[in-house]
A and B are shown apart, each in its own frame.
Chain A
């Protein structure tokens, strides 16, 4: 039995697109034109996923746990408008650039093959799944993640939760102990819920587009985040991918004008499931 299962698992690893007939492949689109860097998605993620709030001191030491983070970069001064307003400070008036960054649910995830106990594996839904109970904390996955979006529980952070606050923990998922790696799951508990609901409504293989939202998507004031099923050609996220000519299994996308789609660090060939839409700036005004 064990041997049979093992051989089955191994033969699966050798096949590209083994899950191509699965009904779901969850994907995300983030429009950087719309993102204003407000951080509502980050807060929502903390609340939804029981992410520990570690405090200023731990944050300074690099122990923060935000599954979703807003990365801020400053553009090089570009064009007349920038140069007119350029000042000497580190934080110029113009040119701040925000990228919400979370687990990209890579189809060729570098974190998966290196885990010695297979605590992280690929689900048929295209999710890069982390099994907390199986994790032994070797932290190899965290090193091998090019986006550095895996977060390690350096301490028992949940023990620091002051009294009434444990009441606001989300009962749909666990709190994590020390010594465990965790990361964005695309709100897998909500996906689970939506699938159950679809099952109850009599269409088990089809979750209606828009019937579930991730926490970050739900809280985004500018609707910059779109979540959905990439296998469903009619879903909003598939249409956006198609519109911007972003295709899976290609590590360099169409870069012609009017097309803003790209995936972060595509050239590493890790096949992320998150598409970003590049920000367009008018540098002359």
Chain B
């Protein structure tokens, strides 16, 4: 166990073999999960077709609840997509080498959750067929979109983020694709040959690769922060009480990293179990991810509580009304469950025993994600329910169509992720090798230091004898 945790005794060839094995013929459980996900997606498609034909009313939104689950899901999935960037880019720049075995799937998660998120604004539109009007394309009548609208910024941010995170994922995968190419047959050989772009592992290639990768990381970090700030400005730029909050961009980014980290832990435990990656996804890495999650959870909590405090002390009539309605009104169940899951539950990670147990972290990560999902719902709905105009106050719970489409989005994400795991290596082989190399070097240096210490001790003992 000790050897596994430091990973210094893993042979080079074994790393390749272990990771490539995850691409081989899937087990039965894989097909079952895939089928369930496909079914969920199918039901979502049916629900969307129904909504498309009948009108948005079937989703049971109404006035004043013009926005509901679609928007809160959108925020949730965009938030989820921040984890990959965090693990890949921020931890790459801060040189935290424990990210290496887990960043690949985190990046994949980024891409797929942003693809999931991007569906929501489309489903949400009343006239989907005119979606392209949001884009600033040259028009014969010189009509432009409204550049002041946060929704337009959203469109720009999402397309930029999806493109660059896909590129980042792909570039980081090139050396591994070359390994796959050398070991594959049939259609996979063709695919990997095309995708690895003739990678031979020359020094010049590695140098160019490193440079590109670091530059991409430098580009991606501010982009990711700006993306979620823009999503936050959908709310912060409005005049609705409890939406119009200055700290929202920061709060959203913290929340995004929080739910993203929780999702990484979930997938970490699942992949480790399904693909038998115990040698790479060690408890040490889980421990560090848990510590990071805890730190982010505390940052998020600070921002959340300071938001409550600033509303309370501002004594603004409308905002206070909404705040009180959150805690004691019709949505109180949601808010209290959210606080329980996202504020109280993370304190379990204080204990080492919890951080080191796969099962407890798996369950805890699901609880945290539930909390963060509810958080997005309570950002969107309660302020609409008690808005400026008391005559329109109404409580509405999402209808079946919205719930089916929500479930379908989880199915869609999992489906994409599973397919990815079977076509591309979900653990970065070359980075794990690097990590093992550094660990070995470090441990041999430690052994040398030990040796000199022993020598000194012996010398001192000899002095004492004399």
Contacts and interface: CB of A to CB of B under 8 A. Distances in A.
Contact of A110 (B60, B145, B155, B238): B238
B239 A268 contact: yes
Nearest to A108: B239
Contacts of A175: none
B126 A62 contact: no
Contact of B239 (A61, A110, A151): A110
B306 interface: no
Interface string A194-209: 0000000000000000
Interface residues of B, number: 49
13 contacts: A62-B62, A101-B391, A113-B148, A115-B149, A116-B155, A118-B146, A137-B126, A146-B240, A147-B389, A148-B392, A151-B63, A152-B56, A178-B55
Interface string A99-122: 001000000001001111110000
A63 interface: yes
Given A114-B150, A135-B126, A139-B124, 11 more contacts: A2-B139, A61-B60, A137-B56, A138-B125, A142-B63, A142-B64, A144-B240, A148-B392, A156-B55, A179-B126, A265-B389
Given A114-B150, A117-B146, A143 B238 contact: yes
Nearest to B154: A116
B387 A180 contact: no
A19 interface: no
Contacts of A63: 57, 62-63
A5 interface: yes
A178 B389 contact: no
Contacts of B234: 140
Given A116-B155, A179-B56, A154 B145 contact: no
A139 B121 CA distance: 11
Interface in A115-165: 115-118, 134-140, 142-144, 146-148, 150-156
Contacts of B144: 2, 6, 9, 118
Contacts of B24: none
A153 B126 CA distance: 8
A181 B55 CA distance: 13
A117 B239 contact: no
Contacts of A142: 63-64, 66
A179 B125 contact: yes
B138 interface: yes
B66 A152 contact: yes
Nearest to B146: A118
Nearest to A264: B389
Contact of A178 (B56, B139, B396): B56
Contacts of A69: 391
Contacts of B389: 101, 146-148, 265
A138 B151 contact: yes
Q: Which of A73, A101, A113 has the most CB of B within 10 A?
A: A113
Given A2-B138, A154-B56, A139 B126 contact: yes
B148 A13 contact: yes
Contact of B61 (A58, A73, A140, A154): A154
A62 B127 contact: no
Nearest to A99: B391
A271 B200 CA distance: 67
Contact of B66 (A6, A58, A143): A143
Contacts of A13: 148
Complex A-B, nearest 5 residue pairs according to Cβ-Cβ distance, in ascending order:
A137-B126, A179-B126, A62-B62, A154-B57, A139-B66
A71 B391 CA distance: 6
Interface string A161-188: 0000000000000000111110000000
B151 A116 contact: yes
Contacts of B151: 114, 116, 138, 140
Interface string B10-35: 00000000000000000000000000
Contacts of B145: 116-118
B133 interface: yes
Chain A's interface size range is 35 or more
Contacts of B390: 73
A1 interface: yes
A2 B136 CA distance: 11
B52 to A, nearest CB: 10
A140 B70 CA distance: 13
A117 B56 contact: no
Interface string B248-280: 000000000000000000000000000000000
A183 to B, nearest CB: 11
Best-buried of B60, B65, B147 by chain A (most CB within 10 Å): B147
B66 A155 contact: no
Interface in A47-62: 58, 61-62
Contacts of A9: 144
Interface string B57-80: 100111111110000000000000
B127 to A, nearest CB: 4
B239 A154 contact: no
A153 B134 CA distance: 20
Identify the interface centre among B63, B145, B391, B394: most chain A CB within 10 Å of its CB: B63
Interface in B368-402: 384, 387-392, 394, 396
Contacts of B239: 110, 144, 146, 268, 270
B166 interface: no
Contact of A114 (B62, B64, B143, B149): B149
A101 B64 CA distance: 15
B152 interface: yes
Contacts of A73: 390-391
Nearest to B67: A143
B383 to A, nearest CB: 9
Interface in B142-180: 142-152, 155
Given A6-B144, A153-B126, A62 B55 contact: no
A54 to B, nearest CB: 9
A62 B394 CA distance: 8
